[in-house]
Amino acid sequence: MIRLFHEVSQQCSRITTEYYSTSFSSAIRLLHKDLRAHIHNIYGFVRFADEIVDSFHDYNKHSLLEEFKQETYIAIKRELSLNPILHSFQLTVNKYEIKHELIAAFFSSMERDLERKIYDRPGYEEYIYGSAEVVGLMCLCIFCEGDKKKYEALNPFARSLGAAFQKVNFLRDFKNDYQQLERTYFPGCNASNFSDTDKFAIEADIQKDFDYAYKGIIHLPMKAKFGVYVAYRYYLSLFNKIKKMQPQRILTERIRIPDYGKIFILAKAGLRNHLNIL
């Protein structure tokens, strides 16, 4: 009956992914069926930790995050948890031998969100690594399915893709982060006077990440390539939409890609995949 518990736990991670991110859910469905549950398991874990630091304002966030962290390590060591999100996560961590240092870096960034509101360049880069790049590396462990040589070769590209996604999220959520959470992630950026110069510098940095990441996407294993490419195209489209906006608009609205736009992205990506010109 333990198999049934495994399945129920992983369904919880899948439902979490679908409720919180329709875009990622759509991209995950394009991965090979062998990979989908494990990517859901990672997303569910990351999402729950993120909720603690971003949403539970009426509770002791420090205590909740510390409990969640300790329960995570116990689940991995015991290979069991009654928390279905953590149980599904440990299944993936133990199956693919995901390094604990990646998990530690992730929690370090989550802890920063409880304390730090403004970042200098070193702090920003450390935060990006722990909050996004390591998530890309966890997913890469799954995509490579134990091929350590392939993992090492694609490691820097996965980090760049994770960084690009996170930085686009920062621009998209600029209004909410600044006005509701009082955070400004971009170093040297005055959120109350966000200028064209600030925006152009941030965009140049993000574009560099996207360009480098693409070089790795085309070398991903076939089981993963199309799904990752669609996620890449979605975020690139969102980024290009943000680039066309004036800085002050970013402070007044949250930018998104409408559903018909996502359908167009998927159709175009499917055609390129069919013609083998990703």
Q: How confident is the model at residue 275 (pLDDT cuts 50, 70, 90)?
A: low
| Beta carbons within 8 Å of 132's beta carbon, 6+ residues apart | 162, 163, 165, 166
The per-residue pLDDT for 192 is 76
Q: Which residue has the tokens 């199956």?
A: 95
Q: How confident is the model at residue 269 (pLDDT cuts 50, 70, 90)?
A: low
- Distance separating alpha carbons of residues 198 and 163, to the nearest angstrom: 18
The per-residue DSSP string of 25-93 comes to HHHHTTS-HHHHHHHHHHHHHHHHHHHHHHH-TTS-HHHHHHHHHHHHHHHHHHT--SSHHHHHHHHHH
Tens digit of pLDDT for each residue in 236-245?
999 999 999 8
Identify the H or E element spanning 157: helix 148-172
Q: What are phi and psi of 252, to 5 degrees?
A: -120, -10
The per-residue pLDDT for 271 is 62
CATH number for 202 = 1.10.600.10
| Beta carbons within 8 Å of 243's beta carbon, 6+ residues apart | 203
pTM of the model: 0.93
Identify the H or E element spanning 10: helix 2-20
| Domain containing residue 265 | 2-274
The per-residue pLDDT for 250 is 82
Q: Which of 69, 171, 185 is nearest to 127 (CA)?
A: 185
Q: Number of folded domains in the chain?
A: 1
User: By CB neighbour count within 10 A (0-12 exposed, 13-18 middle, 19+ buried), where does 198 fall?
Assistant: middle
- Distance separating alpha carbons of residues 278 and 272, to the nearest angstrom: 6
Tens digit of pLDDT for each residue in 65-112?
999 999 999 999 999 999 999 999 999 999 999 999 999 999 999 999
Tens digit of pLDDT for each residue in 10-20?
999 999 999 99
Name the average pLDDT for the chain. Answer: 92
| Beta carbons within 8 Å of 261's beta carbon, 6+ residues apart | 237
